[in-house]
């Protein structure tokens, strides 16, 4: 379970507060207007931003001051999720061991992960030779081998076309089901949120409320949500 305990984030003159929990295996969509602080909140959970006050806990353990790479967190950013100078196998392998000293069993896991996301036979390719959708798949393969219980998606599929984005979200949903991972994703479109998330958090004007069941949230939108939906 992820717990954000009276969390307060500050960036320049922008502040954001959060005080809620996500149960293990939950799938939460953060929605809200641009600049509302969705990415800021993700950055704090991933460890890229130190909170001004409050704590972040995973299963009761305080991870507020743990370095990003040591948190139980895997994250995909808006862009740059693969190192362009490494092959797909190496990019995925980094998720197992950052020094890439992989055993035969590790290499099998890399191969299996690549197969699982539909990139059979592409292990030796470099990212530049892949389509945008294939690059997203490779990044997901790494998430798969990372085996981190909490997955953060900061709009990694934003540059893909609608059909491809839906395909990726379904793949993410499958992976989460396979691994039992907890998911938090930033979403701009209500459709995406409905498709994958079981609850939504509206981020607006520096405040966040506890996750609300997705269907209920859209059926009976709060003031902030209806303002956002227009």
Partner 1 sequence: MAPRPVALNRGAMIRGWPGRSAALALAAFLLAPLIAILWRAGGFGSLSTADWPALRFTLLQAVLSALCSAALAVPVARALARRRFGLRGAYIALMGAPFILPVIVAVIGFIAVFGRAGLLNSGLALIGVAPVSIYGLHGVVLAHVFFNLPLSVRLILQGWQAIPAERFRLVALLGADSASAQRLLEWPMLRQVLPGVIAVVFAICLTSFAVALTLGGGPRATTIELAIYQAFRFDFDLGRAASLSLVQFALVTLAGLAALKFGTLGGPGAGFDRPVARWDLTGRGLRLADALWLGLAALFLLGPLAAVIARGLTGLTHLGAAVWQAAMVSLALALAATGLTLILALTIATARRGWVELVGMAPLAASPLVLGTGLFLLIHPLARPADWALVVTLTVNAAMALPFALRILTPVIAGIETDYGRLADQLNLQGWTRLRWLILPRARPALGFAAGLTAALSMGDLGVITLFADPERATLPLMVWRLMGAYQMQAAAGAALLLLILSFALFALFDLGGRRHADP
Determine the longest span between alpha carbons in the chain, in angstroms.
Answer: 55
The whole-angstrom separation of Cα 186 and Cα 229 is 15
Nearest distance from residue 49's CB to partner 1, in Å?
4
* Out of 21, 24, 59, 84, the residue judged to bind partner 1 by CB under 8 A: 84
Asked if 154 contacts 81 with a C-beta cutoff of 8 angstroms, the reply is no
The answer to the question of residue 70 lying near partner 1 (CB under 8 A) is yes
Nearer to partner 1 by Cβ, of 14 and 178: the residue is 14
Three-state secondary-structure class, residue 29: strand
Using the rule CB under 8 A, give the single segment among 36-44, 111-119, 166-174, 207-215 that binds partner 1: 36-44
Backbone angles phi, psi at 205, to 5 degrees: 50, 45
- Of the candidates 147, 150, 141, 148, which has an alpha carbon nearest to the alpha carbon of residue 92? 141
* Out of 18, 28, 31, 43, the residue judged to bind partner 1 by CB under 8 A: 43
DSSP for residue 101:
-
The answer to the question of residue 117 lying near partner 1 (CB under 8 A) is no
The answer to the question of residue 230 lying near partner 1 (CB under 8 A) is no
The whole-angstrom separation of Cα 193 and Cα 81 is 22
* Out of 26, 45, 63, 95, the residue judged to bind partner 1 by CB under 8 A: 95
Q: State the residues that interact with partner 1 by CB under 8 A.
A: 11-12, 14, 34-40, 43-44, 46-50, 65-70, 73-75, 77, 80-81, 83-86, 90, 94-95, 98-100, 126, 128
């Amino acid at each position: 379970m992820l717990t954000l305990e009276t969390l307060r984030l500050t960036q320049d003159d922008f502040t954001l507060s959060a005080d809620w929990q996500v149960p293990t295996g939950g799938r939460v969509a953060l929605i809200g207007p641009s600049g509302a602080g969705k990415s800021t909140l993700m950055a704090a959970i991933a460890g890229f931003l130190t909170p001004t006050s409050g704590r972040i806990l995973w299963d009761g353990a305080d991870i507020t001051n743990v370095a990003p790479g040591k948190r139980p967190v895997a994250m995909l950013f808006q862009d740059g999720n693969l190192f362009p100078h490494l092959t797909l196998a190496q990019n995925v392998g980094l998720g197992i061991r950052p020094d890439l000293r992989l055993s035969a069993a590790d290499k099998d896991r890399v191969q299996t992960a690549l197969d699982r996301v539909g990139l059979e036979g592409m292990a030796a390719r470099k990212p530049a030779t892949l389509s945008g959708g294939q690059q997203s798949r490779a990044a997901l393969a790494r998430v798969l081998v990372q085996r981190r219980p909490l997955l953060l998606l900061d709009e990694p599929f934003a540059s893909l076309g609608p059909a491809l984005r839906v395909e990726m979200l379904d793949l993410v949903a499958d992976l989460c089901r396979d691994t039992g991972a907890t998911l938090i994703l930033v979403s701009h479109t209500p459709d995406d949120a409905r498709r994958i998330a079981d609850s939504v958090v509206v981020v607006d004007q520096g405040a966040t409320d506890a996750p609300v069941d997705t269907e209920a949230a859209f059926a009976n939108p709060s003031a902030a949500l209806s303002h956002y939906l227009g």
